[in-house]
Amino acid sequence: MFGNINFNFTNRQKLFTLQDMSGVFLPLFITFRWQDALDIVLVALLCYQLYRLVRGTAALNIFVGILIFYSIYRLVRVLDLELFSSILGKFIDVGVIALLIVFQQELRRFFLFIGTNNLFRQPQWRKALFNWRDEDTEGQLDINAVVKACRNMAGSRTGAILVFARNSDLKFYSNTGDPIDARVSVRMIESIFFKNSPLHDGAVIISGNIIRAARCVLPVTENNEFPAHLGMRHRASVGITENTDAIAIAVSEQTGEIAFARDGQMESNVSPERLKELLEKYLMDKK
């Protein structure tokens, strides 16, 4: 049967083993450290965030296809089909490069998520250490003016997209449009989106209480589950919230309904009262 219990020590953990008559060590149990629990939690969070980035997009189907392809490759290797195995092996050899090309948009969104949600971009750190944003100059958003303008445009069925910067300044997207640098007001917003205005075609980007730019070009969502009856204006409002931490408001030109977008999700048919509540929640706290 078994002999004495032996103790093997490593620099990371203690492993208890039993030694049988042939001298083979059989593991009894391995200690579970707090670092192991932390490791599991971090991997789970990483997998969850990656799933959120590819959920509802073609990337999820591509990933499943890659798993099937790799399974076929392993099966061919087991069956020792040399010619077929060598052909599939050529694709496996350049797998990392292929993944970078195929998942280019998803990787970009992942690194944008990290860059716009790190510790040093939080408002209190930014103000204390870097002073990136002049709060006195920008001031707090005039929410009442935004809500009134959206209500008026919804009543007249004037299409509009308003994007509100939070921790990210959205300078890249502001540069795609025409600079405005005017304070937020009902008349200013309505005049920009007036159908005969040369600035109405595109999005307005607002930072603090300042309209930074108009006629801005936004990325559109690639979510396959996005409602088909919604047009490009709504796709763009969701797309900007997928790529940044901004929030967006879309006013439908066909129905006059107001929609609110955040984190790649859209709430449709928002009333002016609900819109004010959402703006206060996500812009005043910036969480």
pLDDT tens digit sequence for 199-234? 888 899 999 899 999 999 888 887 777 887 888 889
Per-residue pLDDT at 131: 45
Does residue 107 contact residue 100 with C-beta atoms inside 8 Å? yes
Chain-centre distance of CA 6, in angstroms?
A: 51
Reply yes or no on domain 136-284 having CATH 3.40.50.150: no
70-99: pLDDT as tens digits = 888 888 888 888 888 888 888 777 777 777
User: Are 262 and 241 contacting, i.e. CB atoms less than 8 angstroms apart?
Assistant: yes
The answer to whether residues 279 and 141 touch, using CB atoms and an 8 Å cutoff, is yes
Q: How many CB atoms lie within 10 A of CB 24?
A: 9
Structural contact between residues 256 and 215, judged by C-beta atoms closer than 8 angstroms: no
Residues 142-191: pLDDT tens digits?
A: 999 999 999 999 999 999 999 999 877 788 888 889 999 899 999 999 99
Residues 6 or more apart in contact with residue 266 via CB below 8 angstroms = 230, 234, 237, 238, 250, 259, 260
Distance (Å, whole) CA 123 – CA 271 = 29
DSSP state string for 60-87:
HHHHHHHHHHHHHHHHHHHTT-HHHHHH
On whether the CB atoms of residues 227 and 219 are closer than 8 A, the answer is no
- Between CA 162 and CA 212 the distance in angstroms is 11
Structure confidence at residue 138 as a pLDDT band (50, 70, 90): low
Could you give the CA distance from residue 83 to residue 80 in angstroms, rounded to a whole number? 9
Residue ranges of domains in the chain:
34-116, 136-284
